[in-house]
Amino acid sequence: MKSKAEGLMISPIKDGTVIDHIHPGAALIVLRMLGITGKTNQELSIATNVASMTNGQEGKKDIVKVSNRELSKEEVDRIALVSPHATINIIRDYIVVEKKGVESPKVLYGIVKCTNPGCITNANEPIRSAFEVTEEGLHCLYCDTLINTDLENHIT
Ligand code: CTP
Ligand code: ZN
């Protein structure tokens, strides 16, 4: 159900991807996980802490709309690490043609930098970081370092 606040703050898009029901306040980290930085020239709308109704419960959520780009499953599934209840809506000619949830990847490639300075992924080698995603956190597949706090501070 659309809240009045959302309707006023953020317009529908013609084509692209809407990431909805993002954990309130997490939109900026979601953008970073998608590799979208302050230098982007993409058309973006971002709303944070807007009123939302979920199963009749009032709450808050963030929304990110990326125009003219359909994000791949690999790209969007990373978001599950910070916002497991996000939904991805693909929009074509103003219509929602696809709606799906996010599933945490089993292995996360790139995006997060290993905290071990001696890890081979931090040497001057063309090796992409790789972490096994478990309930405990992210385990580096190269040196077994565990990252389970401040994920946002370890995004490349
Ligand atoms: N949306 C958009 N531009 C469009 C169509 C939809 O930005 N042309 C956005 C809506 O604002 C909403 C999301 O895409 O944030 C999903 O749209 P829709 O499925 O119509 O909304 P709901 O039914 O409220 O979705 P849900 O049940 O997933 O909350
Ligand atoms: Zn490592």
Q: What is the pLDDT of residues 7-22, one digit of tens each?
A: 566 899 999 999 999 9
CA–centroid distance, 1 to ligand 1, in Å, is 9
% of residues, the chain, pLDDT over 70? 94
d(CA 82, CA 84): 6
Secondary structure (3-state) at 98: strand
How large is the average pLDDT for residues 105-116? Answer: 95
Cα separation values, 112 from 40, 69, 98, 154, Å: 20, 23, 28, 5
Atom number, ligand 1, closest to the C-alpha of residue 6 = 11
Going from the Cα of 134 to the center of ligand 1, the distance in angstroms, rounded, reads: 31
| Better-scored residue on pLDDT, 73 or 15 | 15
For the structural domain made of 16-101, what CATH number should be given?
A: 3.30.70.140
Strand ordering across the sheet containing 16-22: 44-54, 57-67, 16-22, 87-92, 95-101
Three-state DSSP class for residue 16: strand
Q: For residue 47, which of 31, 23, 63 has the smallest C-alpha distance?
A: 63
110 pLDDT more than 70: yes
List every span in the chain annotated with CATH 2.30.30.20.
107-154
Which protein residues touch ligand 1 with a CB less than 6 Å away? Answer: 1-2, 12-13, 18, 20, 63, 65, 87, 89, 91, 94, 96, 99
Q: Which CATH architecture has domain 107-154?
A: Roll (2.30)
Mean pLDDT value across residues 69-79: 92
* Helix ranges restricted to H, the chain: 4-9, 27-33, 73-77
Banded model confidence at residue 2, pLDDT cuts 50, 70, 90: low
Q: What is the pTM of this model?
A: 0.89
Q: Which of 8, 21, 96, 100 maximizes ligand 1 atoms within 8 Å of its Cβ, making it the mutation to test the pocket?
A: 96
